[in-house]
Structure 1
Amino acid sequence: MAFIKRLGWYLVGLSIGIIFLAFFLKKKSEETGTSFCYFPNCRVLKDIRSKPITYSDEVAHVFKVDSITWKDFFEEGNVDFGKSDTKSKPCKIYFISNKEQTIKVKNCPDKVEVVEVY
């Protein structure tokens, strides 16, 4: 019976701790605008959004540079790591797709360039 009692108190303390932790982390993320990105797709898109974005001449002529369209790619897009060249220096190349299209992006240390749209 002593083990069951200790297990019960442990679970009560654990659940209270998880509730406090969730409350404080939610409040911190709302105040500072931070987001917790631990998955590779999220980390790449967050890195791309933090840099100025430029467009190649081909992309600028073929497609209108519409912020809503690009926002969908850089916030909700899926990075295809199978096609991407993540080891190239100095600029890494990523293929990012949304529901209809795929773009090729060069992620350099100081800027991001949209190279092609498929």
Structure 2
Amino acid sequence: MASDQKFVDFVADQVKNAGEVTTRKMFGEYAIFSDKKIFGLICDNKLFIKPTQAGRAFIKDVVEAPPYPGAKNSFLIEDKLEDSEWLSELVRITLKELPEPKPKKKKK
């Protein structure tokens, strides 16, 4: 089951205090970015955040699951979706540990 745009918009709005948040439809689901860094996926109307050490310490009682079959586990965020401040802080913490995006190669 693919995620619906209403849920994607809700999640993006919940993390609006974590930089310039954008979403992109990919493979029938959505990637979610802040300041051009991908920090999570939205699959089957569920939010998955890339795992980091600081994110794990912030969440404390982590629930992990793969966003799609064959994927590595990510943090599954369900109980705190309504808490915009908490979710934005998690995203800010996560972004600090993620590498900068690789520069795009120019087409010749």
Give the TM-score, by structure 2 length: 0.28
Please say which structure displays the higher CA radius of gyration: 1
Structure with greater strand percent:
2
Tell which has more relative contact order, 1 or 2 (C-alpha 8 A, sep 6+): 2
